[in-house]
Amino acid sequence: MKADYNVLLDACVIANIGVCDLYLRLAEQPRLYLPRWSEEILSEVSSTHKKLGWQNDLAEYFQHEIRRAFPEALISGYEQLTPIMTNHEKDRHVLAAAVKDGIDLIITFNLRHFRSEDLSKWNVRAEHPQNYLLTLYSINPAIVLAKLTMIAQKKGLTLPDLLINLGKSVPEFSAKVLEDSGYS
């Protein structure tokens, strides 16, 4: 797998701030993949953050920073494909963006909305965030561990505490890194 591998992140992944933080840091130099999303996905993230009680200025700051840090991530021009997608109606725009941009992997917590029979005709697959984290970890454990350590330090946490927190969303990934790091 190359570090220029494009992966579409669904809104549910970006809205999960702990998982999003790790995914975005893994896309920074030295990067393991390239994140992609659409305006519609980022709009869903903003709505979710507001539902979670984020202040407007914090939600706007997040939107500004994600766009600033990854200007190349934005996909547009997929809208005409949305009506012909057969996956769950609420997530057809996600699949349409992936197809338009030739992306073959969608990372989502909501796998029910991306059944293989709806994706296979487009040569797209959907994976749970922890599965792709495990893949990235198997490819380059040193980079993943370095980025996790950096996140932990910035949050004033130990690596095991950060991994325990991440384990709420990506338990298999967290358990694997804890075990490999000698903490289990």
* 118 and 159 fall within a common domain: no
The per-residue pLDDT of the chain, averaged, comes to 96
Identify the three-state secondary structure at position 31.
coil
Q: How far are the Cα atoms of 59, 87, 173 from residue 183, in angstroms, in the given order?
A: 35, 41, 14
169: number of Cβ within 10 Å:
18
Share of the chain above pLDDT 90, in %: 96
- Is residue 177 a contact partner of residue 146, using CB atoms and an 8 Å limit? no
| In a domain? residue 55 | yes
| In a domain? residue 1 | no
Does residue 174 have a pLDDT over 50? Answer: yes
| In a domain? residue 39 | yes
* 30 and 108 fall within a common domain: yes
Mean pLDDT computed over 102-125? 97
User: What CATH number is given to the structural domain containing 82?
Assistant: 3.40.50.1010
Please give the pLDDT value at position 176: 97
Domain span at residue 145 reads: 141-180
Residue 4 pLDDT level (bands cut at 50, 70, 90):
confident
* 107 and 47 fall within a common domain: yes
Q: How many domains in the chain?
A: 2
Rounded (5°) CA angle 99-125-166 = 115
81: number of Cβ within 10 Å:
17
pTM of the model: 0.95
Does residue 1 have a pLDDT over 60? Answer: no
The predicted-structure confidence for 116-148, as pLDDT tens digits, reads as follows: 999 999 999 999 999 999 999 999 999 999 999
| In a domain? residue 94 | yes
* 38 and 84 fall within a common domain: yes
CA distance 100 to 95: 9
* 108 and 74 fall within a common domain: yes
The predicted-structure confidence for 44-80, as pLDDT tens digits, reads as follows: 999 999 999 999 999 999 999 999 999 999 999 999 9
* 74 and 125 fall within a common domain: yes
Mean pLDDT computed over 83-105? 97
* 176 and 113 fall within a common domain: no
Please give the pLDDT value at position 183: 83
